[in-house]
Amino acid sequence: ASPIPAPNPRPDIACNKIFINNEWHDAVSKKTFPSINPATGEVICQVAEGDKADVDKAVKAAKAAFQLGSPWRRMDASHRGKLLNRLADLIERDRAYLAALETLDNGKPYSISYLVDLDMVVKCLRYFAGWSDKFHGKTIPLDGDFFCYTRHEPVGVCGQIIPWNFPLLMQAWKLGPALATGNVVVMKVAEQTPLSALYVANLIKEAGFPPGVVNIIPGYGPTAGAAISSHMDVDKVAFTGSTEVGHLIQKAAAESNLKRVTLELGGKSPNIIMSDADMDWAVDQAHFALFFNQGQCCCAGSRTYVQEDIYHEFVERSVEKAKSRVVGNPFDFKTEQGPQVDEEQFKKILGYISTGKREGAKLLCGGNPAADRGYFIQPTVFGDVQDTMTIAREEIFGPVMQILKFKTIEEVIERANDSKYGLAAAVFTKDLDKANYVSQALRAGTVWINCYDVFGAQAPFGGYKASGNGRELGEYGLEAYVEVKN
């Protein structure tokens, strides 16, 4: 693998407006909002603040691009794939710039942006490019003298609302299947991290997508997001974010035009460490499961259940590992953990840490801000956590590890499933029977065995229960973007 190019910690900001019809627009209201660098708390730039009026404009452009007989509707399916591959090529060309922009706006370490996020973005777009002419209907032997067949047709105008924790990757997860299947898109990017996704809008135009096929609006949830979910001309909405907002979106869809809804929401994922697990590997992976991306993962292993006979050693080693984690400037190659995304998250996480102490969990390390400026928090570990404690029930979304003790398999399965969430889970054991038994018993959309956070564009991701509905990625990820016509 080639070495990572040195980052430019001050990338030029080329795109900070609203992208409609392959053109840049100010907000109709002329309003802007600041995008903040979480490592310093300083303003990077002002960004156009889209709201209902801009969503209406974007939906109108998308509807026109989706008209029967339009260039996009008449385009060969294989050519849609070619455009997606071209977009992946352009992202690869500008990979170092995009990685620097992602780090500046989101705070994740540049080496991670470059090696993990950008790599997965390109692979996701290429994967769905390949599907564009391969997802098709059937001929069906109906009783009687009839010829019966199905067509997979695009749903139409897709509203897509993406989060701030993986801005470029979540954009790719949404655009890939929607465009491969011939839909048009109105996307709202998170107000905390609009810059990288807006730069990709430029590349979408450069790749040759017709005007109106992809429209991108920076703005806030209660205005721009709500306008998309309640819009009468939006045929489908896809959202990644909090369960609380997921409720609002599902309700808005029901009260407007019953648009199709897919939701990828919160989690409180159990990570179960059996006493026969490889201790070194389990400690490493449990640390990674929780602390990766500053703890800002919907599928973070945020309830670490450890069997009682190895509990003390596991806790001791986990604390040691957390203490040695390097927190600092995300543009420094030595940094493992950057700042939290913004002040609101920073305060919320510190609030959960206070609650944990107050409710009697044992603070073993960390627990405080890690710098005098920027939104840095020390890697934090709590031991002696009980299932009823707030920090064991609610999603913290920060670098705070909860370690709980268990005796038997039956007990830990029951406790692991006792959550409103069901996004992911993991089990660490050398015993294949235990691995099989536990993975089948857990009510979660993804179960990892002796690993964590393993993702690929080929494999579906999504939740049970309040962690959402529908699946993204893989062949399953295409289903939400087609209507089956008989």
Q: Which residues are catalytic?
A: 264, 298
Spatial contact of 430 and 438, defined as CB atoms under 8 Å apart: no
Find out whether 266 and 466 touch, Cβ atoms under 8 Å.
yes
CB 391 within 8 A of CB 361: yes
249 Cα distance to chain centroid = 17
Contact present, 199 and 105 (Cβ < 8 Å): no
Q: What gap in Å lies between CA 83 and CA 416, rounded to an integer?
A: 44
Residue that the structure tokens 């003298």 belong to: 145
Give backbone dihedrals phi and psi of 456, rounded to 5 degrees, phi first.
-150, 150
**Region of residue 69 (left: phi > 0; alpha: psi -120 to 50; beta: else):** left
Output the furthest CA–CA distance in the chain (Å, rounded): 78
DSSP 279-296: HHHHHHHHHHHHHGGGG-
DSSP, residue by residue, 110-156 = HHHIIIIIHHHHHHHHHHHHHHTTT----EE--SSS--EE-EEEE--
The H-or-E segment that residue 23 falls in is strand 23-25
- Are 58 and 66 contacting, i.e. CB atoms less than 8 angstroms apart? no
Task: Name the nearest CA neighbour of 324 among 381, 363, 372.
Answer: 381
